[in-house]
């Protein structure tokens, strides 16, 4: 073998060894050095994390090394010649619905740790139960495409991953994540108060580091880094009664003037389920003419098999198990909107950030569970039963009782 061939072989073997060394290094100490105040091992459920010590750097040697290895594409923000995403236009919902701005330093409630243990146990047991089956349950984390991981928001500063679920206080939890990760500046300084962050910035996708952005940032290392962070970071989500969440989605997207949802969803629904052939071009004109999607139209749309064939459910009514993959990701904290004040206070204490910020107040007119019977009164029984089957996995996995009163004559 010639010297040149030996040299090339040596280069190839050296490159392979370097990659393996990086992977082994990340597996053993990656998260600890990614941000120096993040715990090395995966936290025991409900054990608080160590808070950052004074003077510890936020950037990590591993991330810097990976960014040098992978090139400028691994860095946050727009690079030379790139255009940063512009904030989405404001949403009228927040101005239409009033906030209750009163302080909400909620007491912990009876045995909150046991409540969390029970919720995680229910989730774990049903994910392991072979007789309980629903689509996508059996696939592995590696089988989940990147675009289905866009609801997992990462805060590397505190070692936190939040899976946001629309219509479950996600606007305010996103605000909290922005404050913690310092991902948005106001006049050169990070936001300190969640309530100071305008809604249009909260829902701007460029504001958050989500799992589906990892490929663009880390390339072939992305899945490995996702799994390392899932093992070592504190992961949480908030859920609510699935039928009540549907009512809330309908109210905010179809009973308020929302131009985007009118054009994308209301117009096709009105044409298909209400036999309207000529519809106004704008939502304001439609509302003035009394043309609104009914709750029955909305349920028809959800049950129509053609809906999912055309595109996956919109995130506001997509099932939680499809947004957050609870059988592939072991969540450390499962909050519920029904106990939002207590759960939010408990979670912030767990993360050791309760002295730094408070969870923002919630809406006065939060959609109530007691409304279910009135909302579903005009929905045929067969539709209600089909709808339950469509959302059954969310009811079961998150411990919500089957709404028997809605599913029988």
Give 78-91 pLDDT, tens digit per residue: 332 333 333 333 44
Q: What residues does each domain of the chain span? A: 3-70, 106-240+323-365, 244-315+370-406
Give per-residue pLDDT as tens, 149-196. Answer: 999 999 999 999 999 999 999 999 999 999 999 999 999 999 999 999
pTM higher than the cut 0.85: no
Q: Residue 70: its pLDDT value, please?
A: 41
pLDDT average, residue stretch 361-386: 82
Model confidence band, residue 225 (pLDDT cutoffs 50, 70, 90): very high
pLDDT at 339 exceeding the cut of 90: yes
pLDDT at 76 exceeding the cut of 50: no
User: In this structure, are residues 378 and 296 in contact, taking their beta carbons and an 8 Å threshold?
Assistant: yes
């Amino acid at each position: 073998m010639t010297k040149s061939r030996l040299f090339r072989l040596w280069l190839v073997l050296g490159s392979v060894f370097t990659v393996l060394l990086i992977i082994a290094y990340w597996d053993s100490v990656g998260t600890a050095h990614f941000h120096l105040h993040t715990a090395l091992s995966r936290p025991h459920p409900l054990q608080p994390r160590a808070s950052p010590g004074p003077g510890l750097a936020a950037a990590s040697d591993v991330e810097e090394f990976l960014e040098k290895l992978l090139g400028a594409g691994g860095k946050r923000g727009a690079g030379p010649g790139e255009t940063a995403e512009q904030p989405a236009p404001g949403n009228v919902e927040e101005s239409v619905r009033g906030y209750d701005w009163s302080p909400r330093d909620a007491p912990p409630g009876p045995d909150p740790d046991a409540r969390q243990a029970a919720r995680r146990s229910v989730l774990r047991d049903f994910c392991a139960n072979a007789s309980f089956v629903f689509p996508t349950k059996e696939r592995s984390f590696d089988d989940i495409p990147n675009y289905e991981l866009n609801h997992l928001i990462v805060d590397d500063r505190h070692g936190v991953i939040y899976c946001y679920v629309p219509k479950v206080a996600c606007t305010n939890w996103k605000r909290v994540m922005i404050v913690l990760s310092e991902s948005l500046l106001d006049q050169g300084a990070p936001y300190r108060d969640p309530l100071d962050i305008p809604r249009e910035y909260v829902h701007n996708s460029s504001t958050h580091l989500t799992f589906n952005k990892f490929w663009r940032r880390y390339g072939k290392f992305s899945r490995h880094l996702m799994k390392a962070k899932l093992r070592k970071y504190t992961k949480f989500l908030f859920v609510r009664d699935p039928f009540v969440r549907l009512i809330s989605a309908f109210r905010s997207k179809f009973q308020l003037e929302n131009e985007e949802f009118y054009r994308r969803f209301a117009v096709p629904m009105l044409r298909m389920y209400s036999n309207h052939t000529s519809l106004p071009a704008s939502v304001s004109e439609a509302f003035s003419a009394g043309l609104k999607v009914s709750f029955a139209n909305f349920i028809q749309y959800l049950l129509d098999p053609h809906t999912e064939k055309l595109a996956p459910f919109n995130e506001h009514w997509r099932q939680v198990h499809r947004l957050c993959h609870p059988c592939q990701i072991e969540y450390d904290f499962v909050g519920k909107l029904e106990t939002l004040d207590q759960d939010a206070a408990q979670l912030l204490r767990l993360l050791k950030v309760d002295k730094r910020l408070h969870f923002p107040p919630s809406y006065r007119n939060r959609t109530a569970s007691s409304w279910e019977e009135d909302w579903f009164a005009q929905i045929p029984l067969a539709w209600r039963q089909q709808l339950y089957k469509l959302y059954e996995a969310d009811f079961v996995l998150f411990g919500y009782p089957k709404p028997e009163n809605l599913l029988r004559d």
